Amino acid sequence: MPKLVDPVQYRKELLWKAFDVLAETSCAKVTTWQLAKAMGISTGAMYHYFPSKQALFEQLVEEMGQ
């Protein structure tokens, strides 16, 4: 049976994994491949959750503000 995942919580987990990469590398220099690798997902899966690198950054900033 497939594991049930809360998509909102999973997205938050992915954001904080991306934060770890962004804390070490400038936003302009980090690649989508590096972000996906840090999140433990494929780049295709990353684009499923975040339509662009810019959208990921914006959602991370929003999450940090909460």
CB 56 within 8 A of CB 35: yes
Task: Rounding to the nearest 10 degrees, give the CA dihedral for residues 54, 55, 59, 62.
Answer: 60
Residue 48: pLDDT above 90?
A: yes
Residue 19: pLDDT above 80?
A: yes
**What is the fold of 7-65?**
Arc Repressor Mutant, subunit A (1.10.10)
pTM: 0.81
> Which amino acid is residue 25, in one-letter code?
T
Residue 15: pLDDT above 90?
A: yes
